[in-house]
Copies of this chain bind each other. A is one copy, B any other.
């Protein structure tokens, strides 16, 4: 049983009423509701103790940054401007007021920086800590970056670099104590400006964020008219964290780069005639953009040597 299958089944059962004002329901990075001055994109994400993080290796302030990066990433992938947040927290008795205040302080700093308004929330107690964020953002009328839209021969692009989060988590899970090695993992970042630029310019034919791992998320861009992708593994931009951790642990970066979740970079496709715009875009935003492959008519994801690549990214329900 996979998460996607569970979600599909649940949505089939639970989404029995469809509002004509909902322009896009479940299935993309965020839902869209029709509002007269521009669609409002809304997304929900949760972060659960011992599933997404452990208290022994993440401070509350860093957890706040991490949760925000995860949530805002969904709106970036839609080409929307984040505007509001609701926050539900379950605290355990081990956590004290200081923990919550440290969480809140960092949250407030980042929200102010990003112009996001915390408009509501819920706080309760339980046996495990969890954070649930719902975020809304405004898109330009008639313009959204959707997952479906790529055509064969479109280039496959990623922003930034990959594998850093998975490497940091593995390092911390194994008891690594050198925070400097993985400090980037704890920083707050987003690709909202890139999403807006891709959306406004119309240069991308499809887009999603990398939260479940490159291969898993790339699969979500495939569709019946464009069911395949060819990846050039040598071109994959490897995170400096992944490189540092792989040296420390004496292992390969590849699994982290291909299947590591929570990179929160954008993965998007660009038609060949629009590719020349990419250099200027990268320079204007000071964000590395790398062409890592090509969409194809042949089903499945393969590397340039013709070997099939199987997604093994984040899926909490995989083992059941």
Contacts and interface: CB of A to CB of B under 8 A. Distances in A.
Given A105-B13, A134-B86, A42 B7 contact: no
A112 B15 CA distance: 8
A33 to B, nearest CB: 6
A91 to B, nearest CB: 8
Contacts of A123: 3, 6-7, 10, 317
A15 B117 contact: yes
A125 B1 CA distance: 13
Contacts of A203: none
Contact of A84 (B22, B86, B97, B130): B22
Nearest to A33: B84
> Which of A16, A32, A123, A320 has the most CB atoms of chain B within a 10 A radius of its CB?
A16
Interface stretch (A47-55, A184-192, A222-230, A274-282): A47-55
A14 interface: yes
Contact of A36 (B17, B37, B120, B132): B37
Interface string A14-34: 111111011001100011110
Interface of A: 1, 3, 6-7, 9-11, 13-19, 21-22, 25-26, 30-33, 35-37, 40, 42-46, 48-52, 83-84, 86-88, 90-91, 93, 97, 100-101, 103-105, 107-109, 111-112, 114-128, 130, 132, 134, 136, 316-317, 320
Given A10-B121, A51-B126, A130-B130, 13 more contacts: A6-B123, A11-B118, A14-B87, A16-B112, A25-B118, A25-B120, A26-B120, A30-B120, A32-B119, A35-B37, A42-B134, A44-B120, A126-B128
The 5 closest A-B pairs by CB, nearest first: A31-B119, A13-B104, A19-B117, A125-B316, A132-B132
11 contacts: A1-B97, A15-B111, A17-B112, A17-B117, A19-B83, A33-B84, A42-B120, A43-B86, A43-B120, A48-B126, A88-B134
